[in-house]
Amino acid sequence: MANRPLDVLNKALRTPVIVRLKGGREFRGVLDGYDIHMNLVLENAEEIQEGDVVRKLGSVVIRGDTIVFVSPSQV
């Protein structure tokens, strides 16, 4: 049986992820929470461009309707 998107997010809790947004921005951090709309909470978040850290943000909330993908990351 295929996993549902929220099941996959649940398995990724408290692990490092990369999140790409519409418009091409990317954030890396530890997935701390989510809701049914796929709004995400990242801890120790960093904005990254081409693999390099642009700025460190700390805790962020990312709206689910702006997310293109969520992927595991090695921080």
20-41 pLDDT, tens digit each: 999 999 999 999 999 999 999 9
Per-residue confidence (pLDDT) for residue 5, from 0 to 100: 76
Per-residue confidence (pLDDT) for residue 75, from 0 to 100: 59
Per-residue confidence (pLDDT) for residue 70, from 0 to 100: 94
> Which secondary structure element, helix H or strand E, spans residue 40, and what is its range?
strand 40-49
pTM of the model: 0.89
Q: What Å distances lie between residue 58 and 4, 6, 8, 16, CA to CA?
A: 28, 24, 24, 13
Domain range 5-72, its CATH number among 2.30.110.10, 2.70.170.10, 2.30.30.100, 3.40.140.80:
2.30.30.100
- The β-bridge relationship of strands 40-49 and 52-62 is antiparallel
Per-residue confidence (pLDDT) for residue 4, from 0 to 100: 81
Per-residue confidence (pLDDT) for residue 62, from 0 to 100: 98
Question: Can you list the residues of the chain whose pLDDT is less than 70?
Answer: 1-2, 75
